[in-house]
Structure 1
Amino acid sequence: MKYRYSPIDSDKFASAFLFDDAIELEKERDKPPLKCLIYGEPGTGKTYFATMNEEDGGFPDTKYLFDLELGSTFLAREFNHRFKVLRPRSEVRINELILSQLEFLKKRDDCKTIILDSISVFENFLKQERLEFRRSGGKSGRRDPFATIAIADHAPKNLDIFNLMRELIWCDCSVIITAQSANLWKDMEVIGKKANCSEEVHYWFDYILHFKFSEPNLYYCIVEKCRSGIFKKGDIIEFPTYKKLVEGVKHERKNKPLSSQSEEQ
């Protein structure tokens, strides 16, 4: 069997990529774009952290928030956080909506930060869409109101998630994805917490942060991943901000009162 290979068009290849000097590119960025996955229980400050105003140490403005949990207006009202809100309509496919809006945002010079709140709700949307597809009969047209999600349904769901992650990470701006908290099991016992999302999602990000809250009025996060090496796994950041992530500011654990609390929770 013979195979034919088309010659590579060097002009088209060059136009498809941007070749820059990595060191010079980073020097030009006084506010480097970060890709963050943050998770925790409700009320631990995840969306507060993501939408914090730039002058207060937050991520660069302007921010665009995909509000799948419909809880962002509280932050705007109570804390005067400024951001643009994009909310889905129930009659459209959530994945197609977000991807189309990302194409729109990529063309906007003012888009400096994109927030998806939350990936857990997004995945639930995908499961529900797949379930409705099966119950409607899908391509066969044979309706089955008692149909359930099968193993074969995970492939299209994972492909949708992969496509979304790829488009988000390729955005030349900061990206924050929130997730709900889920139990981490081992040998039938709960040994900790994890982000309630597909395992594949974890590998895309510069930071993975576990948000927690302790009295009186102290919210903090535990670093689970830091690609730059500024923080080590297990480091604690009190009142985390974008500025602290860039500068490497963390809690000085002298007598470890905070770390003890984090291990108990």
Structure 2
Amino acid sequence: MRIDLLSIFPDFFTTPLNEGIVRRAILAGILDIGIHNIREHATGPHRTTDDRPYGGGEGMVMKAEPLAACLAAVPRVGERRRVILMSPRGLPFSQGRAQDYATNCDQLILLCGRYEGVDERFTARFVDEACSIGDYVLSGGELAALVVVDAVCRLLPGALGCADSAEKDSFSRSLLKHHQYTRPPLFAGMTVPGVLLSGDHAAVERHRFLESVRLTLERRPDLLAGLSLSQAERKLLHREGLLAAVEAAQRGRTA
């Protein structure tokens, strides 16, 4: 997969893209990253990429011409290319959207907005969708773009050391992930749940599923609207007294 990043601060990406899973995916040829400096496509002695908004108002607006020129210089990879503007006005980024990008795109082009936004004529002509990572304001789209890169990268086949890791992450099944423990078995007077030391894999899976359900009910009941349950899971939740609460959360109510 190819991801291209368009920014007026290209050096912002240097260190993050050379660490961890993203770096390993790049070295393995699973992910290809292109970084493009929008200023290189601006005209005039000062390489200006922004100007005052028509109609007045606060701040500056990113100009359409250098953005269009920068986008035109990005080499096309594959047939399934999507141009995405990182913007607080965009659709909420989620695990499902990350999976969509990883599965259905050969190339993502992430445009990092700045200032008060981007000239709407560029957006209307060239942008396929806008994407937001949350209901808060950042100084620019670079941090948001890195979030998208990381979330998408870990879903690419071969990017993670364990093939099951991505499937069992939080949000992959509309559930928060269960608690995790490692050595030593005793820390600060606290022990590890005995079932995790039992060697009974079926019991461990039941314990983890129930813990995920309890955590999701407590912290993010809204997620349960997308949870699909097998008959065996429904019986287990009923036996543990959790089924009514889950069904109420799925209906948007509190049991």
**TM-score, scaled to structure 2:** 0.28
**Structure with the greater relative contact order (CA < 8 A, sep ≥ 6): 1 or 2?**
1
Q: Which has the higher helix share?
A: 2
Larger Rg: 2
TM-score, normalising length: structure 1: 0.27
More strand by share: 1
